[in-house]
Structure 1
Amino acid sequence: MAVSSIFIASELYWGFRIPLHNSGLIIPLNRVRHFEHATISLNFFTYAAFAIILDKIGSKAHYALTLFLEAIAFGQELLLIHFHSADHKGVESQYHLLLQIILLVSLITTLMTIGHPQNFLLSFVRSTSITFNGVWLIVTGFMLWTPALIPKGCFINLEEEHQVVRCLGDEDLLRAKSVNHQFSWFFIAITVFSVSFYLVLDKIYDEKLDYSTLS
């Protein structure tokens, strides 16, 4: 919740740092992305807040409702990423496209877990996809806005107060968008880490598990 609050505040700061258009508070196109990012974080803030409240109240349906709110957050993120105001033909679009695959897995497994709360595999895949979601967002940030990591033949260009990766030619653009192998490497790494982490914890704790509430 704290991280979401900080992120929302930072995005709204960049969105409002120049007064909005005097006519009907119209949001300029170059600042729409900031409100999109803030909305995504707001969804997860709402989910986290209600997760704590439901856990504290101890409602019989608190687990199902928590998963439902989580599914809404993933669904909203998937929707906003799919219709993101960023360039849909550049390098960033390829990273967003691959992110949507991860989000779709998170959304589907979360919805399925509502009906099958005791299914270990669903929970495991959901947790792994959430981890992959965070890792891929970090990778996207480094690969797109770190000059030393930008593909050869491409550069960071400031367009309408937003940094965008542009390439010199079509061949450079195609090479820069070929991040599928990178996605696959991270997918394998996350899979190996998740399974190994589970095996280690299973060996340490075995059946000696003790659960407690979030509050």
Structure 2
Amino acid sequence: MKTKFAITILFCSLLFGCGAQLEDYDDSERRFDLFEYFSGSVIAWGMVQDFSGKQTRRFEVVIVGKVVENRLTLEEDFVFDDGETQRRVWQIDKLSEKKYQGTAGDVVGIALGEERGNAMQWQYDLILPYGDSSTVVSMDDWLYRQDDNHLFNITKISKFGVEVGQVTIFFQKSPTPTKIQITHKQDKISK
């Protein structure tokens, strides 16, 4: 009887329990500071996983950011393990001390972001290539500032409210812009 009760409580807490909230990071010593971190050059490595957790793609990205007044322009150049390349250019406007909005060519409408402590959450809809067509998915993007040079990102991808995948990215500040090319046959990375 006790086991059934414990399982029921565990199930209910998983089903109805609240996930992390942005306010949970208010007391962090480190501050996220989106414009400061992405001003200049950043390199990153990441992977895409499907709904089962299986890794489906790997990629590297070079990001160059430029801040002019209350706008951050981010130029992101992706190289995937299959040789595909993608470019995304973000225009991000600072609305207040902690709130932002942004646009990019493959973002539907406006992305909304807020930072608290060492964390930032972005939410937006993204057009993804899907076979010979494309589909729109919702992105719930959580970024965490580790230190002056490192940042972690976990993004949940959903369609019709159901999680269909996840993207994990590790960022590192770079003193100069770098070109990255993934050579998947030898499983080496050359810069």
User: Structures share a fold, TM > 0.5?
Assistant: no
* Higher helix fraction (1 or 2): 1
Alignment TM-score, normalising by the size of structure 1: 0.22
Q: Which has the higher contact order (CA 8 A, sep 6+)?
A: 2
Alignment TM-score, normalising by the size of structure 2: 0.23
* Higher strand fraction (1 or 2): 2
